[in-house]
């Protein structure tokens, strides 16, 4: 691009109204301090809106995949390079993983607080960047900038991205996305090629944080339109590096979502989600889903009520009847945007920005079990907010008195968003509050009952509630895995109803459980019912499958061998356990002591019993056996 080219034109349509407001509200020195005070107040409001979530817990929805069971994060030392060669939950975003690893390196990974606070800090920076971008695109209109930043910052649809630890990718990719847009606008205004290079660098960083950023090159073309650049060959040529990067990250994302490893270059870490097969829905249904999501995102921007952390696909019911309506709404709105391509730059830009940035997540290609998600609007809402703000400027230009009224309403809407956001933040306190809210919104969603029941049983000890919710999940036709049956077996086992526990573990195994813990728990049930000969095969099977409680399985296997009169085999198992594990429960030493004693190894038996008594001085079995040996 020639260095002698004249700078691109400034905004054509919004300029008159923007300039007028600047003269009235922000150009003189006496009001400059008010603007900066407004920025400080903006940041304080954002803080108050989200501070209630700082002490929230991890939730049983991806947080265990991204943090709790992800050794890259829980043990970051020595794994920094591996983050670039791996994907988590079918997403390749090494910068996001790096940021989580950095959190864990400084503050640890056992508490969610540092992760949530970091999300909030990144979001606060994004609020400032969004305000500055609106400032530039509105011909430096400070009221527009403050209002867009305010609504963007505290809208209830932001809660998922800020308060949910797993959505670090949203606030991080947003940071680089907004910075890239701002630097590109500066490139258009100053015609310095270095700005274009930095735009590309920021774009790549955004893609490395979340693949949804691949649409940025099209957004840059939209910014060209906003600044009246003609679609000349040189405009397209300068975008080639951007589209090449988009293609690369798009191919990586598509390959990983399909279960691949991108030619052996990127391996999976931990549990992976499964994208829905396109054959589940017809082409017509997928069009309707996309249209419905598009419409509901627009609706929730203006009326953020009855929001849910999860919006399931529905074949019948209140929401399903609007699927076709949503498609019609989307088609009509896009046609109107096309009609106003030359007549109203503001309207076209707002709709086009929203459409471009939301298109990839409209579930035309279904990923997961939700038809839409609040977090998907983290970038797209900017276009609609800017269009609304410039529309209010236009109204004020035509009628100053009416303009004051509409701006008052606009800022009151900010107050409404603030109240709704604080309430939405509270929903994410823990797994129980989160899935309880989903059940309240979707009382027939079996996944929510299952997850709530699991949490109540494992974390809260509410066995009756856990049993009731898992049974409800089964009643509603739970599909996908054997979770509810496993939960029921565990709950009944804790209650002491071993035959009932055995019944549900049997059912889970018949349904093809993939958890070694299920076989282990059935083995424990058999052992409790004094059937160690049946327990042994289950404990052995559990050790060949994913099992977070391998040490417990080995301990019980050793105990079962002792009970069946095979102390030699028990000794082999327990020696393996004690040798391989750094922290071993006293029961392993107790059982090994019994095995040694039965084999006549009294010195070794005494040593093991002494280890037990060091942890449990009043252990009756160890004391009695030492007495028998005369010790």
In this prediction, residues 64-80 reach a mean pLDDT of: 92
Residues 421 and 568 in one domain: no
Q: Which of 165, 163, 168 is nearest to 427 (CA)?
A: 163
pLDDT at 7: 43
The pair of three-digit structure tokens given for residue 8, joined into one six-digit string: 């691109």
Q: Is residue 468 left, alpha or beta, with left meaning phi > 0 and alpha meaning psi from -120 to 50?
A: alpha
Last residue of a domain, one of 410, 427, 444: 427
Q: What local confidence, expressed as pLDDT, does residue 631 receive?
A: 76
- Report yes or no on 585 lying in a domain: yes
Distance CA 375, CA 171 (A): 10
User: Above pLDDT 70, what percent of the chain?
Assistant: 93
pLDDT of residue 367: 62
**214 pLDDT exceeds 90?**
yes
**Cα distances (angstroms) measured from residue 36 to each of 26, 27, 125, 318, 473:** 11, 13, 15, 46, 53
Please give the distance of CA 38 from its chain centroid, rounded to a whole number.
32
Alpha-carbon distance of 121 to 98, in angstroms, equals 16
Q: What is the pTM of this model?
A: 0.86
How sure is the predictor about 370, in pLDDT bands with cuts at 50, 70 and 90? confident
**For residue 22, what pLDDT band results from cuts at 50, 70 and 90?**
very low
| pLDDT for 15 | 42
Q: Give tens-digit pLDDT for 446-478.
A: 999 999 999 999 999 999 999 999 999 999 999
Report the pLDDT value the prediction gives residue 2, as an integer from 0 to 100. Answer: 41
Instruction: Tell me phi and psi for residue 616, to 5 degrees.
Output: -135, 85
Q: Decide: helix, strand or coil at residue 177.
A: helix
* pLDDT at residue 82 is higher than 70: yes
pLDDT of residue 315: 76
Return the pLDDT at 86: 92
pLDDT at position 437, please? 95
Domain count, the chain: 2
How much is the CA Rg of the chain, to the nearest whole Å? 30
Least confident window among 21-30, 247-256, 286-295, 382-391: 21-30
Confidence of residue 133 (pLDDT cuts 50, 70, 90): very high
Over residues 305-313, mean pLDDT: 91
Q: What percent of the chain has pLDDT over 90?
A: 80
pLDDT value for 10: 40
- The answer as to whether 285 is a domain residue is yes
Q: Which domain holds residue 582?
A: 550-631
Residue 463 located in a structural domain? no
pLDDT at position 72 over 90: yes
Domain-located, residue 509: no
Q: Among 394, 427, 460, which residue terminates a domain?
A: 427
Is 494 a domain residue? no
Per-residue pLDDT at 271: 67
What is the pLDDT at residue 366?
63
The yes-or-no verdict on residue 275 having pLDDT over 90 is: no
Residue 575, burial from CB neighbour count under 10 angstroms (0-12, 13-18, 19+) = middle
Is 457 among the domain residues? Answer: no
According to DSSP, the β-strands at 86-88 and 370-372 are unpaired
**Residue after which a domain boundary falls, among 427, 456, 483:** 427
Instruction: Kindly state the helix (H) or strand (E) to which residue 404 belongs, with its residue range.
Output: helix 400-427
Q: Please tell me what DSSP assigns to residue 368.
A: S
Indicate whether 557 and 416 sit together in one domain: no
CA dist 245 and 177 (Å) reads 14
pLDDT in tens, 2-21: 444 444 444 333 343 333 33
CATH number of the domain that residue 576 is part of: 1.25.40.10
Instruction: Tell whether the model's pLDDT for residue 530 goes beyond 80.
Output: yes
3-state secondary structure of 84: helix
Average pLDDT, the chain: 90
pLDDT band at 105; cut points 50, 70, 90: very high
Residues 147 and 284 placed together within one structural domain of the fold: yes
- Is residue 164 situated within a structural domain? yes
Question: What 3 state SS string does 435-468 have?
Answer: HHHHHHHCCCCHHHHHHHHHHHHHHHCCHHHHHH
If you average pLDDT over residues 221-240, what whole number do you get?
A: 94
Asked, for residue 168, whether it belongs to a domain, the answer is yes
């Amino acid at each position: 691009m020639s260095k002698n080219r004249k700078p691109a034109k400034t905004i054509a349509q919004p300029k008159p109204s923007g300039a007028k407001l600047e003269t009235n509200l922000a150009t003189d020195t006496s009001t400059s301090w008010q603007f900066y005070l407004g920025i400080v107040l903006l940041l304080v409001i954002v803080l108050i809106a989200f501070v209630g979530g700082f002490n929230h817990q991890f939730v049983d929805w991806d947080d265990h995949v991204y943090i709790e069971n992800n050794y890259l994060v829980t043990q970051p030392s020595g794994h920094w390079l591996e983050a670039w060669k791996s994907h988590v939950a079918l997403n390749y975003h090494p910068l996001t993983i790096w940021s989580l690893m950095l959190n864990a390196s400084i503050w640890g990974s056992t508490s969610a607080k540092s992760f949530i606070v970091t999300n909030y800090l990144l979001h606060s920076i994004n609020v400032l960047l969004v305000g500055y971008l609106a400032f530039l695109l509105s011909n430096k209109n400070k009221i527009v900038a403050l209002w867009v930043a305010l609504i963007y910052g505290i809208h209830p649809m932001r809660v998922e991205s800020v308060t949910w630890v797993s959505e670090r990718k949203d606030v991080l990719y947003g940071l680089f996305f907004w910075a890239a847009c701002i630097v590109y606008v500066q490139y258009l205004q100053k015609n310095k090629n270095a700005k274009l290079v930095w735009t590309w660098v920021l774009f790549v960083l955004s893609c490395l944080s979340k693949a949804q950023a691949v649409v940025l090159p099209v957004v840059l073309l939209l910014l060209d339109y906003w600044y009246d650049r003609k679609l000349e060959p040189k405009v397209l040529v300068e975008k080639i590096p951007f589209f090449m990067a988009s293609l690369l990250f798009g191919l990586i994302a598509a390959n990983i979502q399909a279960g691949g490893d991108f030619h052996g270059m990127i391996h999976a870490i931990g549990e992976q989600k499964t994208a829905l097969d396109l054959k589940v829905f017809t082409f017509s249904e997928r069009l309707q889903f996309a249209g419905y999501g598009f419409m509901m995102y627009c609706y929730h921007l203006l009326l953020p009520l009855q929001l849910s952390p999860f919006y399931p696909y529905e074949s019948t019911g209140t929401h399903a009847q609007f699927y076709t309506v949503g498609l019609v709404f989307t088609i009509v709105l896009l046609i109107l945007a096309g009609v106003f391509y030359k007549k109203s730059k503001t309207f076209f830009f707002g709709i086009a920005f929203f459409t471009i940035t939301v298109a990839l997540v409209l579930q035309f290609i279904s990923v997961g079990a939700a038809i839409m998600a609040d977090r998907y609007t983290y970038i797209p809402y900017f276009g609609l907010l800017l269009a609304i703000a410039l529309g209010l400027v236009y109204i004020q230009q035509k009628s100053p008195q009416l303009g004051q009224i509409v701006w008052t309403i606009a800022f009151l809407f900010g107050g409404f968003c603030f109240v709704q956001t604080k309430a939405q933040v509270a929903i994410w306190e823990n797994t129980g509050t989160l899935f309880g809210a989903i059940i309240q919104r979707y009382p027939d969603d079996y996944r929510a009952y299952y997850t709530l029941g699991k949490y109540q049983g494992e974390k809260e000890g509410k066995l009756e509630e856990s049993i009731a919710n898992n049974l409800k999940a089964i009643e509603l036709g739970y599909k996908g895995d054997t979770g509810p049956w496993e939960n029921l077996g565990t709950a009944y086992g804790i209650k002491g109803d071993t035959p009932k526990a055995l019944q549900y573990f049997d059912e889970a195994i018949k349904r093809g459980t993939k958890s070694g813990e299920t076989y282990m728990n059935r083995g424990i049930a058999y052992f409790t019912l004094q059937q160690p000969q049946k327990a042994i095969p289950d404990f052995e099977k559990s050790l060949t499958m994913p099992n977070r409680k391998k040490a417990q399985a080995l301990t019980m296997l050793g105990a079962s061998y002792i009970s069946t009169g095979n102390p030699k085999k028990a000794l082999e198992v327990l020696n393996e356990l004690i040798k391989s594990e750094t922290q071993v429960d006293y029961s392993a030493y107790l059982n090994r002591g019994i095995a040694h004693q039965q084999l006549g190894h009294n010195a070794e038996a005494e040593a093991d019993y002494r280890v037990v008594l060091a942890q449990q001085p009043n252990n009756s079995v160890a004391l009695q056996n030492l007495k028998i040996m005369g010790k």
